[in-house]
Structure 1
Amino acid sequence: MDKKLLNIKEICEYLGIGETKARELVRGHNGFGVRIGNRWYADKKQLDRWIEKTRI
């Protein structure tokens, strides 16, 4: 994906998770959630950094 911001459905596809969990992650204090109006998106670069940081 070449997009900078991912919507909820794209986050689900990218991470292989459901919408409820994707919304929890984006609205949390993980550093990758972006709110525009009443919609939430994930900054893809920040999301990738978060994934690398939380890997075991």
Structure 2
Amino acid sequence: MHARSDGQGRPLGFVLTGGEASDYSTVPALLDMPCRKPRLFLADKGYDGDAVR
């Protein structure tokens, strides 16, 4: 499960994937959720990649 939350940790939505799916592949779906454009992006190193940074 990959979740998007606001600055206070409240959930805005999530994406479910299989256990073997890369964290990096869910970034577009998380950022396309219908909510405001994020000011900050906090993620673990599974989301690390040039396109995300």
TM-score, normalised with respect to structure 2 = 0.29
The higher-RCO structure (CA 8 Å, 6+ apart) is 1
**Which structure has the larger Rg?**
2
Structure with bigger helix share is 1
